[in-house]
Amino acid sequence: MSKYTPKPEHKFTFGLWTVGNRGADPFGAQVRPKLSPVELVEMLAEVGAYGVNFHDNDLVPIHATAAERDQIVKEFKEACADHDIKVPMATVNLFYEPVFRDGAFTANDARVRAYAVQKTMRAMDLGAEFGAETFVLWGGREGVETDACRRPDDAIKRARECLNYLCEYNLEKGYGYKFALEAKPNEPRADIYFPTTGAYLAFIETLDHKEMVGVNPEVAHEQMPGLSMMHAVAQAWEAGKLYHIDLNDQYPGRYDQDLRFGSVSPKQSFWLVKFLEDVGYQGMRHFDAHAYRTEDYDGVKEFARGCMRTYLIFKDKAERWNNHEEIQSILAGIAETDAENLIGKYGSEAAAKLLATDFDRHELAAKGLNYERLDQLTMDILLGVD
């Protein structure tokens, strides 16, 4: 077993919709046969995943009867138990059905909004049957093609009403869920409300039960508009709101590609893994990604193995970076300039002293910061020559 072999303690998870993706795209039909949730659990166990996640209708078709639902749940529970696959996260599909074409929580039709809340409550019930602790909400349809249809501040108020309601349901049922809100700037809508993780962090502060709600940043969704995923994650972490994470990869400025983790931007992926490991993130490492349309299910297994292997390679390289003598020496030099905090908490005396301080801006600007060497040493590690 190599040091890049996934183990349960790595907490690698995949959604049913990821390894079960059949390869359809807007310009082409499905290329892979449908696998059942039980077959997908068997696949995830084979590749070494820790857990599996699902939208309500990934597991229970929307048209299923109560009896069919119970049978599906029974068989899936048995498969998860047989293969020791956990269900850490559940979510709800509020984007596929035509009824949500104008949005779900933010739709203009009050009956659609109510139906979306009802569907979410039932999805929470389903996830709780499997012990899911995190409930992700991705508002893929919460947006517009034309802003003629509603004021965005009305949409925000509607989203808040639904979230507050669902938090109360969570409390009444005693599910103990942590809600994780997932941002995306566009696609399928021309503009999606709450386009970035930062936007959600601001929104969460306006909720009745903000302690119950955090974020689920996704690499592709931050990188689509050219933002830094690691910076978004760091802000969420610093705010105590990193409740889940969707790992994949993405070329900036393109449609949501959900590519294999680390397969496009190894340096940004490295900084993300290093941050998660350096801060001791204890949550799931969820790969919300799917294999190329060219692949059969053997290729899908390689995709899943590749996601986990690349994460572990970057984890190993982060340890090398943290123990690299020259890197640590450069960092120590940087730390010297930060030895004494000259700001700290405001006080009249301190402010008077600060105002009376003479700063020689030319002397402060004169010393080179040696970041080129620091970054080249990082590249040496990433390129495998150190």
Residues that bind Mn ion in the complex, under the rule CB under 5 A: 218, 220, 246, 256, 258, 288
Unique residue bearing structure tokens 């930060």: 338
Q: Does 58 interact with ligand DIG (rule: CB under 6 A)?
A: no
Binding to ligand DIG in span 28-57, by CB under 6 A: 55
135 binds ligand DIG (CB under 6 A): no
Binding positions for ligand DIG, 231-260, rule CB under 6 A? 246
Residues with active-site annotation: 55, 58
- No. of helices (H) and no. of strands (E), the chain: 15, 10
Residue 179 contacts ligand DIG per CB under 6 A:
no
91 binds ligand DIG (CB under 6 A): yes
Q: CA-CA distance, 158 to 198, in Å (whole number)? A: 19
**Residue 307: both structure tokens together:** 């996601």
Here the tokens at position 350 are 């301190």
287 binds, among ligand DIG, Mn ion, none (CB under 5 to 8 A by kind): none
* Under rule CB under 6 A, residue 14 binds ligand DIG: no
Binding flag, residue 105, ligand DIG (CB under 6 A): no
* φ, ψ at 176 (rounded to 5°): 70, 20
- Please identify the residue of the shown chain whose CB is closest to the bound ligand DIG: 138
The answer to whether 218 contacts ligand DIG (rule: CB under 6 A) is yes
Angle between helical axes of 66-82 and 37-47 (0-180°, round to 10): 20
Tell me which of 133, 182, 222, 249 binds ligand DIG, using CB under 6 A. 182
Question: What does 136 interact with, of Mn ion, ligand DIG, none (CB < 5 to 8 A by kind)?
Answer: ligand DIG
From candidates 19, 72, 136, 276, binder to ligand DIG by CB under 6 A: 136
List the x/- string, 290-329, binding to ligand DIG by CB under 6 A: ----------------------------------------
Ramachandran region of residue 199, left (φ > 0), alpha (ψ -120 to 50) or beta?
alpha
Closest approach, Cβ 55 to ligand DIG, in A, equals 6
Q: Which does 56 bind (CB under 5 to 8 A by kind): Mn ion, ligand DIG, none?
A: none
138 binds ligand DIG per the rule CB under 6 A:
yes
133 interacts with ligand DIG by CB under 6 A: no
Give the one entry of ligand DIG, Mn ion, none that residue 100 binds, where binding means its C-beta sits below a cut-off of 5 to 8 angstroms depending on kind: none
For ligand DIG, the closer CB: 139 or 198: 139
* Smallest gap from residue 95 Cβ to ligand DIG (A): 8
**Amino acid letter, 242:** L
Residue 60 or 220 with smaller CB distance to Mn ion: 220
Residue 246's DSSP bridge partners are 218, 286
Query: Residues 346-375 vs ligand DIG: string with x where CB under 6 A?
Result: ------------------------------
The bridge status of strand 178-182 relative to strand 51-55 is unpaired
Question: What is the smallest separation between the CB atom of 323 and Mn ion, expressed in angstroms?
Answer: 33
Q: Nearest to residue 250, comparing CAs of 238, 237, 259, 241?
A: 259
Helix (H) or strand (E) holding 233: helix 229-238
How far is residue 93's CA from residue 376's CA, in Å, rounded to a whole number?
A: 44
With CB under 5 to 8 Å by kind, the binding choice for 130 among Mn ion, ligand DIG, none is: none
CB under 8 Å to 8, separation ≥6 — which residues?
50, 84
**Residue 185 or 317 having the CB closest to ligand DIG:** 185
Q: Is 319 helix (H, G, I), strand (E, B) or coil?
A: helix
Number of neighbouring beta carbons within 10 Å of residue 24: 12
Own/partner contacts of 27-34, CB < 8 Å, gap of 24 or more, are: 28/293, 31/293, 31/294, 32/295, 32/296, 32/297, 32/300
Yes or no: say if 216 and 182 are a contact pair by the CB < 8 Å rule. Answer: yes
**Amino acid at site 205:** E
CA distance 298 to 313: 22
Question: Which residues in this chain contact ligand DIG in the complex, by CB under 6 A?
Answer: 15, 17, 55, 91, 136, 138, 182, 218, 246, 288
